[in-house]
Amino acid sequence: MSVGTAPANHSRWRGTRLRERIPAQHRKPSRFAQIAGMLLLSASAVFPVYFMLSGALRSQAAWSHSQIGLPTTTSLSAFKAAWSSAQIGLYVRNSAIVTLGTVVLTLVVASTAGYAFAQLRWRGRGFAYLFVIAWLAVPPVALMVPVYEEMNSLGLINTYWSVILFYTAINTPFNVYLMSSYLRGLPDELMEAARMDGARVHSTFLRVIMPMARPAIATLAVFNFLFAWNEFVFALLLLQSDNVKTATVGVLQLQGRFSVNYPVLVAGLLITSLPVIGVYLFFQRYLVRAIVAGAVR
Amino acid sequence: MSAVVESDGLSRRPPLRRRRARRRSDAKWAYVYVAPAVALVVGFIGYPLASVIYHAFTTWDGLSPPVWVGWHNFSLLFHDPIFRTAIRNNVLFAISVPIEAIGALILAHLIHQRVPLWRFFRSTFFLPAIYSTVVIGVIISVVLLPQGPVNQILGHVGLSSLRHNWLESSGTAIGSIILVVIWANIGYSVLIYLAGMSSLDPQLEEAARLDGAKFWGVLWKVHAPNLRRVVELVFVINTITAFAYMLPYIYTITQGGPGFSTYATEYYIYDTGFTGQRLGYASAIGMVLAVIMLAIGAIQVRILTRGGRI
Amino acid sequence: MTRKRGLLATTAVLAAIILGACGSSSSGGSQKARGGSHTLHLWLGGDLTQATHGSPFLAWVDQQIGRFEVQNHGWKIVTSLLPFSNGANAAQLEAAFASHNTPDLMNLYSGQFTNAYTKVLLPLTSFVAKTPGLYGSIPESVWNIECTKYQCNGGKGTILGVPWNSGAYYLFYNKALLAKAGIAQPPATYTQLFADCTKLRAAGVLPLSMGASDGYDTSNVFTSNLVSTLGPGDMSAILAGKLGYDNPKLVAALQPVLQLTSPSTKCTSTDALGQDQLHGINAFQAGQAAMTPYFGLQLATFKQALGTKLGVAPLPLSGSGPLLHVNNGYAGNPFDGWVIPKGSQNVAMAWKFIQIASDAAANRTSQSEMGLSPAVTSVVARLRDPLQKTAAKLAANPAIPELDQVMPGTFAIFMYKQLGLGQEGKQSAEQTLKALQQYAVSQPKQGQ
């Protein structure tokens, strides 16, 4: 059977009944090695948080002696220094605006286009679809200078819109692909039924398609949230003044060219990472479920 | 639209005449619905790309007007040893894709089998994808210092012979970057596989088990073949990363060093274009990279659209 | 149900933030929207990329802005930090120049930056000429790097920037550790240095800590050593392409530097190869290594770590060429300078700020607060602290500029990488410089 065309069954993946019945000997080979390996990977995944936390709680002298180990101070001075000298509160706010703006615009663009490609019938649809997703092949770094010039002539340098528009555009091919292929997997009967009930193009979109597309929407939200929060090169180029700088760019100001106070730098990095880690832990259950239900439709 | 409203409700599909009417009205709105996406890609990818293509045939320092030089940049590129290194490294990154894709498949399979702590694994494996590349870069460049944590730990556990200047020999530097990229992205792939596995019919697995298939048997005979499309998707996403999203890792971990050994095409564009102020040459490299990506893209578009109705 | 409510709440928050974003982005204001308002836009590059909140650099900038605003009523200065990394810095400048979106004035790395941006910077020659005492207050050897062809000719050359500081690379040493091996003076020549390395090793002390992976340490130690091997006029000949980068005088200056990390001299631990310039100072700062090469910027931090044990001296030199008797006989140049882009909308006011930032009052605190040697001669003479005095004098009136600051930027970046490979022992001094020369002749002429 093909995964791509299987109808959605949101309850199926949640079931654990089958796996619980797996006899113990089928859980081989060498359960111990498996768990140990996975624990090692998990530990490495958590390590950066430990590293930043313990680093921020070490004095600079202790740091130059060894970069990991137990904290040597309970003083929060590194955090205070990072907070005041990198204005991290301001930068985190800017990142939040850019990220959420990108996510919302992305969802609008991808879901409207996905709907048109997957559910509406019109001339030139196949060509238009290829036209939109073919831009996947363009490496963003090649576009730096022309994009800067373009944003400058639009008067958007140092405005959130510059990066929001660019981030949305550069990921549009992938987002549209993901959304269309998800919507294409929805059963035709739904559309027809909506038609029967007299729903028009718009109300089908808003009342029938969008609620059904929630898993795909969540997937896109996560992908684009992480992309926009972590993007560095274009944020550096397009958002130069202090009141609009994003966190990834702003926090690196703590890394001097010829001297760097590492405890303060890692404290700054930890502060800028906390919002994303927090969002992930808080929404994790929902996000993981949504991705699991929707990523490959 | 009214045609649909007037449907008599007897037939499950509207009569042919009415369906045509619907299509026409769909068509009108379809253009409106795709307009934002088309406008964005044309405006912020297509237009800048056209500018890059033009400048690929010029020498330009960004300060004075560009000078048309025809194919000169491309013939330079042909003999450029750094460009060759960069392409070689991209290929190395691409070779790491199967390692990640298969590693992730095994991990997903384990989680799908509900090994103890599977929930914990499922959430922590995704964590590296959360950290910004800036955080990863700073941490990795400190962790791999000669007196850094990795070497310290190797010393403590009696493996001093393995201590190494990780980022200072070309072999381990490129290997370190590849490992970091796999580590940072494997969580995505695991999640995508889990999604695929959960949409498979559990009876397939059950049947295989009744036939005596064990751990690997289920993985290779049930999951791998039935998840072909998912596996392809994971390959595509990671191949794109290997060619077009390596810049932040190289920038923060090695800056291309030692020597030029960890340059990738993308980093070379950045380096020549900005640090070196040779925007014409950088545009030419950009064009070559775009062509390579287009070739990969063509394959990938075929994969992505196969089985779909378009 | 909770899921649904969560979604609703999230959507509401998103919407609120987006609305907020639109509001504040329109008030964020682009560089263009400055007509009529009395605002001067200043970009901080070079060492001032470190002018983050709470730093002595920003304190210094704020002080000068305060002086400017008192003298020029109704004018305000808005600053933007440029990124510290060479590549990102260049990217931002290049994008700005390419789209004519430049500020009224900037502080930039000298040499390769004023050199690369000659076409888009306003010549300041006439401004300097009209400002009594300015040209004479700074040694000509410090001015030179700010002029086209690196020749200011008594103020008649084309001046593109006003030096903000003078700079050099030094040998920092730990008196206590040297004494432990019975060494009274820091080494002045490489022969002495290698002998000292043996003595220090015998005493169980790590002689030298440095970072070789990025090639910056190697480059600075090598270009400082050029003062002992080059002859008068050689520097200009190199820059004009008449003397190859692989000529014997350069090879002679590089050879002993590459030996620092070779196992035969025992000067450094193997760690030196795997760390960059920034981490190269760690062992010295921790009191474990007897010597380290570095900028004066770190003087205050070293002093804090090592107290009275700290000493500063010129780097060892290998040759005995004639330049040792020119000026102060050392290599150095200002790290940063003030420049005005051609697109500046307030040239007169920008010049007023430069005058304030370059006077003796502004220079007085640069050594003690920021570790930057002052450019103004009268301030150098008045320094009291012996370490600061030594550092400032070595930077004050250099015989030659540091090569990497004046050669084309692309060449310098290529050279750092090659030097890194040389320091690792992967190629000889001769091979390293041959590679640089081959690269140099293969490149199109700058400014084509």
Yes or no: say if C315 and C169 are a contact pair by the CB < 8 Å rule: yes
The reply to whether residue B38 touches residue A128, judged by beta carbons under 8 angstroms, is yes
* Both structure tokens of A116: 């048109």
Yes or no: say if A264 and A85 are a contact pair by the CB < 8 Å rule: yes
Give dist(CA A128, CA A138) in Å, integer.
17
Q: Could you tell me which residue, C2 or B89, shows the higher pLDDT?
A: B89
Residue B54's CB: how many other CB atoms inside 10 A? 15
**Which region among A113-122, A251-260, B215-224, C436-445 has the lowest average model confidence (pLDDT)?**
A251-260
Q: If DSSP codes are grouped into helix, strand and coil, which group holds residue A70?
A: coil
Yes or no: say if B148 and A290 are a contact pair by the CB < 8 Å rule: no
Q: Does A172 touch chain B (CB under 8 A)?
A: yes
Per residue, the 3-state secondary structure of B104-160, as one string, reads HHHHHHHHHCCCCCHHHHHHHHHHHHHCCHHHHHHHHHHHCCCCCHHHHHHHHCCCH
What residues of chain B lie within 8 A of the CB of C98, using their CB? 62-63, 279
Yes or no: say if C400 and C413 are a contact pair by the CB < 8 Å rule: no
**The residue to which tokens 């090692």 are assigned:** A40
Give pLDDT, residue B9: 32
Chain B positions with Cβ closer than 8 Å to C: 59, 61-64, 67, 144-147, 165-168, 251, 255-260, 270-271, 273-279
- pTM flag (> 0.90): no
Q: Could you tell me which residue, C273 or B307, shows the higher pLDDT?
A: C273
Give pLDDT, residue A16: 37
Give pLDDT, residue A289: 64
Give pLDDT, residue A296: 45
List beta partners, residue C80. Answer: C43
**Residues 6+ away with beta carbon under 8 Å from B14:** A195, B3, B4, B7, B22
Dihedral sign computed on CA atoms, order A55, A59, A60, A66: negative
Give pLDDT, residue B306: 60
Query: DSSP states of C157-181 as a string?
Result: S-B--EE--B--EEEEEEHHHHHHT
Calculate mean pLDDT across residues A216-237. 87
**Residues 6+ away with beta carbon under 8 Å from B24:** none
The distance of A258 to chain C (nearest Cα, Å) reads 6
What residues of chain C lie within 8 A of the CB of A97, using their CB? 17-18, 20-21, 24
Instruction: Using the predicted structure, report yes or no on whether residue A2 has a pLDDT greater than 50.
Output: no
**pLDDT level of residue B23 (50, 70, 90 thresholds):** low
Calculate mean pLDDT across residues A117-122. 86
Average pLDDT in chain A: 80
Give pLDDT, residue A122: 86
pLDDT per position as a tens digit, A137-171: 788 888 988 898 899 889 898 899 999 999 999 99
**pLDDT level of residue A11 (50, 70, 90 thresholds):** very low
* Interface ipTM: 0.81
Calculate mean pLDDT across residues B93-104. 90
How deeply is C35 buried, as exposed, middle or buried, from its count of CB atoms within 10 A (0-12, 13-18, 19+)?
Answer: exposed
Which chain C residue has the Cα nearest residue A214? C7
List C-alpha distances in Å: A285 to A43, C36, C261, C351. Answer: 20, 54, 53, 59
Nearest to C28 among A61, A158, A256 (CB): A158
**The residue to which tokens 């990780």 are assigned:** B166
Chain length of chain C: 448
Calculate mean pLDDT across residues A202-213. 82
Chain length of chain B: 310
Q: If DSSP codes are grouped into helix, strand and coil, which group holds residue C310?
A: strand
Q: If DSSP codes are grouped into helix, strand and coil, which group holds residue C100?
A: coil
Question: For residue C360, how far is the Cα from the chain centroid?
Answer: 21
What residues of chain C lie within 8 A of the CB of A141, using their CB? none
The reply to whether residue B258 touches residue C213, judged by beta carbons under 8 angstroms, is yes
Residue type at B80 in one-letter notation: D
What residues of chain B lie within 8 A of the CB of A15, using their CB? 202
Q: Could you tell me which residue, B90 or B163, shows the higher pLDDT?
A: B90
Give dist(CA C361, CA A97) in Å, integer.
43
Q: Return the biggest CA–CA distance within chain C.
A: 86
List C-alpha distances in Å: A185 to A2, A181, A296, B33, B213. Answer: 11, 6, 10, 19, 31
**Residues 6+ away with beta carbon under 8 Å from B219:** B105, B106, B109
The reply to whether residue A160 touches residue C81, judged by beta carbons under 8 angstroms, is no
Subunits next to C (3 or more Cβ pairs <8 Å) are A, B
Q: If DSSP codes are grouped into helix, strand and coil, which group holds residue B181?
A: helix
pLDDT in tens, chain C (448 residues): 344 444 444 444 444 444 444 444 433 333 333 444 689 999 998 889 888 877 889 999 999 999 999 999 899 999 988 887 777 788 888 888 887 888 999 999 887 667 788 889 999 999 999 999 999 999 999 999 999 888 899 999 999 999 999 999 999 999 999 999 999 999 999 999 999 999 999 999 999 999 988 899 999 999 999 999 999 999 999 988 999 999 999 999 999 999 999 989 989 988 888 888 888 898 999 899 999 999 988 898 899 899 999 999 999 999 999 999 999 999 998 889 999 999 999 999 999 999 999 999 999 988 888 888 999 999 999 999 999 999 999 999 999 999 998 888 778 888 998 999 899 888 999 999 999 999 999 876 544 3
Q: Does C213 touch chain B (CB under 8 A)?
A: yes
The reply to whether residue B168 touches residue C274, judged by beta carbons under 8 angstroms, is yes
**pLDDT level of residue A41 (50, 70, 90 thresholds):** very high
* Exposure on the CB side of residue B152, measured as CA atoms within 13 A: 12
The reply to whether residue B166 touches residue C117, judged by beta carbons under 8 angstroms, is no
Helical H runs in A74-124?
77-85, 88-119
Which helix (H) or strand (E) segment holds residue B58: the answer is strand B58-59
The distance of A57 to chain B (nearest Cα, Å) reads 16
pLDDT per position as a tens digit, B123-133: 899 899 889 88
C39-44 and C76-81 beta bridge pairing: parallel
Give pLDDT, residue C257: 97
Which residue, among A235, A238, A267, has the nearest Cα to A250 in the 3D structure?
A: A235
State the best of C39, C41, C50 to mutate against chain A, taking most chain A CBs within 10 Å.
C50
SS3 content of chain C, % helix, strand, coil (to 5): 55, 10, 35
Subunits next to A (3 or more Cβ pairs <8 Å) are B, C
Give pLDDT, residue A185: 76
Per residue, the 3-state secondary structure of C363-375, as one string, reads HCCHHHHHCCECC
Give dist(CA C182, CA C199) in Å, integer.
8
Calculate mean pLDDT across residues A57-76. 77
Give pLDDT, residue C107: 94
The reply to whether residue C94 touches residue A104, judged by beta carbons under 8 angstroms, is no
**Residues 6+ away with beta carbon under 8 Å from C282:** A64, B147, C209, C275
Question: Cis peptide leading into A29, omega within 30 of 0?
Answer: yes
Nearest to C214 among B255, B275, B276 (CB): B255
State the best of C85, C213, C285 to mutate against chain B, taking most chain B CBs within 10 Å.
C213
**Which region among A18-22, A131-135, C134-138 has the lowest average model confidence (pLDDT)?**
A18-22
What residues of chain A lie within 8 A of the CB of C92, using their CB? 236-237, 240
Q: Does A83 touch chain C (CB under 8 A)?
A: no
Nearest to C3 among A240, A244, A286 (CB): A286
The reply to whether residue A159 touches residue C30, judged by beta carbons under 8 angstroms, is yes
Helical H runs in C364-448?
377-381, 386-396, 403-406, 409-423, 429-442
Residue type at C133 in one-letter notation: G
Subunits next to B (3 or more Cβ pairs <8 Å) are A, C
Residue type at A98 in one-letter notation: V
**Residues 6+ away with beta carbon under 8 Å from A32:** none
State the best of A92, A259, A286 to mutate against chain C, taking most chain C CBs within 10 Å.
A259
**Residues 6+ away with beta carbon under 8 Å from A10:** A215, A293
Phi, psi of C121 (to 5 degrees): -100, 145
Dihedral sign computed on CA atoms, order A104, A244, A87, A54: positive
Give pLDDT, residue B22: 54
**pLDDT level of residue A9 (50, 70, 90 thresholds):** very low
Query: DSSP states of C33-78 as a string?
Result: TTTTS-EEEEEE-GGGGG--TTSHHHHHHHHHHHHHHHHSTT-EEE
The reply to whether residue C282 touches residue A145, judged by beta carbons under 8 angstroms, is no
C336-339 and C105-109 beta bridge pairing: antiparallel
